């Protein structure tokens, strides 16, 4: 359980970091946020796959 919580916190930090870096770029908001959301989803999927094995 502690490992899952730690992973969730790491993913949240990753998501915030990605969001901040994308917002600092000059891309249109819609495209930037879509990219961030895709990266967050992929990171979560990788974490769950790693956790289930």
- pLDDT tens per residue across span 6-32: 888 888 888 888 777 777 776 655 677
Decide: 2 and 20 in contact? Cβ < 8 Å. no
Does the model's pTM come out above 0.85? no
Banded model confidence at residue 39, pLDDT cuts 50, 70, 90:
confident
Q: Give the model's pLDDT for residue 38.
A: 84
Longest dimension (CA), the chain: 40
What is the count of structural domains for the chain?
1
CA dihedral 43, 47, 49, 52 (to 10 degrees): -160
Range of the domain at 13: 2-52
Cβ-contact 19, 40 below 8 angstroms: no
């Amino acid at each position: 359980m502690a490992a899952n919580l730690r992973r969730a916190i790491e993913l949240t930090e990753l998501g915030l970091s990605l969001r901040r870096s994308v917002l600092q770029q000059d891309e249109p908001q819609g495209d930037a946020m879509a990219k961030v959301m895709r990266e967050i989803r992929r990171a979560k999927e990788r974490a769950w796959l790693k956790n289930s094995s």
